[in-house]
């Protein structure tokens, strides 16, 4: 099977984030094992979805991890030209959900496996495929907890998010929070008898905007656009009717932090403001729904130099999107982003990848394997 054939299989699994993924895991496992890789399926605490870790080459040696996520965002856009879960070729473009983000990377990596399996490898190559990345990297932490049992301390991890095959050394960290305020309902003519949850939330919103302003002037990192940590309220819901005191208001916000800044610390002033509402009789729930740290890999690390050699291109300091790379780095594993396709095609209708992009990625993986030969 070539990369296109494999991508066709992978796209046919509607492995939408937040749903069970047994089908795609089973297919990938069978493929990997048929080419001599040892595979461990690592079920997550949800019970119906799993990460997958596989290795080829000597187990007792340190090797490189090729990391990708098996989940995709939903394909609910109405403007898809064809079935998003059926790979469609048009010229040199292959259309389908996940083609760029990031089943294309998985397909290129898997297509390279038969050739790699024949090489006398001195160091192993590992395949770390995760679930629910699109929900804020929920799957991969469970795999990283096990990494000490799965392989010798890795030399580095390549995260194949679409980067046009340029190695990327940094991204911001993120934390998403959900705040629920419960008050007491009643007729709008007697606001004195209820507890208006929307009114209460305005204090939390004000605290958010204060933090937004403060961040503009702190912790500048010129590698990023914008060069500072940011925060935004993404959703707010509450109230049923104009003449009823709303007893529930829910808000979601996220922080994006430059390297060296903890994204959850950015939320502390807001959290304290929300929790103080309990003094006025409100019930407040604060939940961090997802979080991952920033990535920052120095240009002179062996991994960054290796990737420049493999891609014949200079590495870039930073991208604006987040990935699992920050979690690998936090787990003590050097990590870098490099994958086929363009992030601008992700999360939209008619997502595609080009055949030459798949070929370039497969070539990079084979070059990596060649550096690990005896
Ligand atoms: Zn992705």
Which residue ranges make up each domain of the chain?
A: 3-170+294-371, 173-292
Report the separation in Å between the CA atom of 162 and the middle of ligand 1, taken as the mean of its atom positions: 7
Report the separation in Å between the CA atom of 320 and the middle of ligand 1, taken as the mean of its atom positions: 13
Report the separation in Å between the CA atom of 213 and the middle of ligand 1, taken as the mean of its atom positions: 30
CA 258 from centroid of its chain's CA atoms: 16
What is the Cα–Cα distance from 171 to 48, expressed in whole angstroms? Answer: 30
Report the separation in Å between the CA atom of 171 and the middle of ligand 1, taken as the mean of its atom positions: 13
Q: What pLDDT does residue 219 have?
A: 79
Report the separation in Å between the CA atom of 105 and the middle of ligand 1, taken as the mean of its atom positions: 10
Q: What pLDDT does residue 72 have?
A: 98
Q: What pLDDT does residue 331 have?
A: 97
Please give the average per-residue pLDDT across 239-253, as a whole number.
97
Q: What pLDDT does residue 73 have?
A: 97
Q: Are 108 and 365 in contact (CB under 8 A)?
A: yes
Radius of gyration of the chain (CA): 23
Report the separation in Å between the CA atom of 102 and the middle of ligand 1, taken as the mean of its atom positions: 5
Report the separation in Å between the CA atom of 308 and the middle of ligand 1, taken as the mean of its atom positions: 22
Report the separation in Å between the CA atom of 9 and the middle of ligand 1, taken as the mean of its atom positions: 18
Residues 113-134: tens digit of each pLDDT: 999 999 999 999 999 999 999 9
pLDDT at residue 218 above 90?
A: no
Listed in sequence order, the residues at least 6 apart from 150 whose beta carbon sits closer than 8 Å to its beta carbon are 40, 53, 55, 126, 143
Task: Using a pLDDT cut of 90, give the percent of the chain over it.
Answer: 97
CATH class of 173-292: alpha beta
pLDDT at residue 361 above 80?
A: yes
CATH topology of domain 3-170+294-371: Aminopeptidase (3.40.630)
pTM for this prediction: 0.91
Listed in sequence order, the residues at least 6 apart from 214 whose beta carbon sits closer than 8 Å to its beta carbon are none
Report the separation in Å between the CA atom of 185 and the middle of ligand 1, taken as the mean of its atom positions: 42
Mean pLDDT of the chain: 96
pLDDT at residue 352 above 80?
A: yes
Listed in sequence order, the residues at least 6 apart from 269 whose beta carbon sits closer than 8 Å to its beta carbon are 207, 210, 211
Q: Which residues hold their Cβ within 5 A of ligand 1, which is an ion? A: 101-102, 161
Q: How confident is the model at residue 220 (pLDDT cuts 50, 70, 90)?
A: confident
Residues 23-78: tens digit of each pLDDT: 999 999 999 999 999 999 999 999 999 999 999 999 999 999 999 999 999 999 99
Report the separation in Å between the CA atom of 70 and the middle of ligand 1, taken as the mean of its atom positions: 9
Report the separation in Å between the CA atom of 342 and the middle of ligand 1, taken as the mean of its atom positions: 11
Helix spans in the chain (H)? 3-12, 22-34, 104-117, 140-150, 197-215, 268-276, 302-311, 325-330, 355-371
Q: What is the largest CA-CA distance in the chain?
A: 82
Report the separation in Å between the CA atom of 15 and the middle of ligand 1, taken as the mean of its atom positions: 13
Tokens of 118: 């024949």
Report the separation in Å between the CA atom of 182 and the middle of ligand 1, taken as the mean of its atom positions: 35
Report the separation in Å between the CA atom of 159 and the middle of ligand 1, taken as the mean of its atom positions: 9
What is the Cα–Cα distance from 112 to 37, expressed in whole angstroms? Answer: 12
Listed in sequence order, the residues at least 6 apart from 118 whose beta carbon sits closer than 8 Å to its beta carbon are none
Report the separation in Å between the CA atom of 121 and the middle of ligand 1, taken as the mean of its atom positions: 29
Determine how β-strand 170-171 pairs with β-strand 248-257: unpaired
Q: How confident is the model at residue 1 (pLDDT cuts 50, 70, 90)?
A: very high
197-215 helix and 268-276 helix, angle to the nearest 10 degrees: 160
Please give the average per-residue pLDDT across 99-124, as a whole number.
97
């Amino acid at each position: 099977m070539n990369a296109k054939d494999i991508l066709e299989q992978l796209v046919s699994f509607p492995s939408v984030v937040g749903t069970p993924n047994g089908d795609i895991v089973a297919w990938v496992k069978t493929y990997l094992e048929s080419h001599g890789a040892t595979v461990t399926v690592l079920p997550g605490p949800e019970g119906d979805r799993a990460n997958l870790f596989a290795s080829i080459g000597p187990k007792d040696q340190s090797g490189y991890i090729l990391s990708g996520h098996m989940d995709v965002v939903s394909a609910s856009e109405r403007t898809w030209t064809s079935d998003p879960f059926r790979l469609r070729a048009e010229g040199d473009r292959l259309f389908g959900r996940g083609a760029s983000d990031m089943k294309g990377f998985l397909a290129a990596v898997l297509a390279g496996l038969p050739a790699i399996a024949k090489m006398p490898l001195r160091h192993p190559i590992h395949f770390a495929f995760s679930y629910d990345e699109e929900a804020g990297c929920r799957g991969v932490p469970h795999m990283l907890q096990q990494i000490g049992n799965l392989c010798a301390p890795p030399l580095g991890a390549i995260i194949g998010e679409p980067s046009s095959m340029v190695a990327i050394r940094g991204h911001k960290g993120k934390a998403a929070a959900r705040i629920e305020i419960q008050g007491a309902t009643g007729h709008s003519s007697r606001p004195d008898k209820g507890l208006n949850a929307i009114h209460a939330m305005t204090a939390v919103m004000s605290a958010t905007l204060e933090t937004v302003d403060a961040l503009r002037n702190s912790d500048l990192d010129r590698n990023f656009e914008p060069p500072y940590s940011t925060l935004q309220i993404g959703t707010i819901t509450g109230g049923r009717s104009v003449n009823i005191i709303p007893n529930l208001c829910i808000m979601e916000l996220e922080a994006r932090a430059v390297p060296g800044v903890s994204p959850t610390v950015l939320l502390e002033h807001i959290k304290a403001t929300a929790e103080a509402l309990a003094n006025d009789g409100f019930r407040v729930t604060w939940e961090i729904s997802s979080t991952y740290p920033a990535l920052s890999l120095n240009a002179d690390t062996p991994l960054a130099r290796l990737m420049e050699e493999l891609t014949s291109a200079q590495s870039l300091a930073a991208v604006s999107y987040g990935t699992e790379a920050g979690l690998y780095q936090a787990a003590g594993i050097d990590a870098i982003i490099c994958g086929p396709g363009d992030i601008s095609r992700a999360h939209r209708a008619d997502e595609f990848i080009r055949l030459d992009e798949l070929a370039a990625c497969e070539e990079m993986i084979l070059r990596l394997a060649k550096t690990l030969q005896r």
